Copies of this chain bind each other. A is one copy, B any other.
Amino acid sequence: MSNDNGETPPLRDRRRAQTEQEIGEVALTLFEKQGIDGTTVDEIARLAGVSPRTFFRYFATKERAALVQHRDLEDRVESMVATMHPHGSLLPQLEAVWVEVLTAFDNGRSEPGRQLLRVRRLMRTEPTLRTTANSLDAERLEALVARLTRLTGHDDELDARVLVETVGATVRVALDSWAEAHEAGHPVDLLETYQRCRGVMHDAVRAEPVG
């Protein structure tokens, strides 16, 4: 039975999270070393010390295993959203949330940051991973839209959807350039990159004659 009030989550759950991490780590490492196509689930499972059957109880597809860290990022966004003010304008608040989250990942110097960098790099050469990550992301953003719409009491999701998706797009571009730059050997600051992306979009909109 799950615990809602207690201090630490029950042992079972922590154990589960633990093995999830372990499998994820093994998967990511193997993928980096030999590519996704060159890695079978059996191999990951064997190295992680579980049966293939169990692997699929943790992750629906092999790609998802490499994205454990990425989920962290999205979890943080989700919890940040709780701090938003329901009646302020959405866009600046959303942007602020992302600034907060991206800062937490500290340009790859914190442990989660390093992990994120590994994943985003791998995404650049592995189309199936990119695809999976994007669709995971899309699910999360959709959930966020639903939550924001409920929060603001709007009857229509359109506004929230447009803003969440466009901001999401700038963030994706930022993460991508960030990983690209690191890969190319001239690392850049993640937050700074995001601010540049945001700037490009804002400037372009403002420059446009009102219509």
Contacts and interface: CB of A to CB of B under 8 A. Distances in A.
A111 interface: no
Interface of A: 89-92, 127, 130-131, 134-135, 138, 158-159, 161-163, 165-166, 168-170, 172-173, 176-177, 196-197, 200-202, 204-209
A172 B208 CA distance: 22
Contacts of A163: 200-201, 204
A127 B134 contact: no
A130 B135 contact: yes
A165 to B, nearest CB: 4
Contact of A166 (B130, B176, B201, B209): B201
Given A206-B205, A206-B206, A162 B158 contact: no
Contact of A208 (B89, B134, B169, B200): B89
Contact of A170 (B135, B165, B197, B202): B165
A204 B90 contact: yes
Copy total for this chain: 2
A173 B162 contact: yes
Contacts of A170: 162, 165-166
A156 to B, nearest CB: 9
A131 B60 CA distance: 15
Given A91-B205, A166-B170, A202-B208, 11 more contacts: A127-B135, A158-B177, A158-B196, A158-B197, A159-B200, A161-B177, A165-B172, A165-B173, A166-B169, A168-B169, A206-B206
B196 A173 contact: no
A202 B159 CA distance: 11
A200 B197 CA distance: 19
A165 B204 CA distance: 13
Contacts of A91: 204-205, 207-208
A200 B158 CA distance: 9
Contacts of A165: 169-170, 172-173
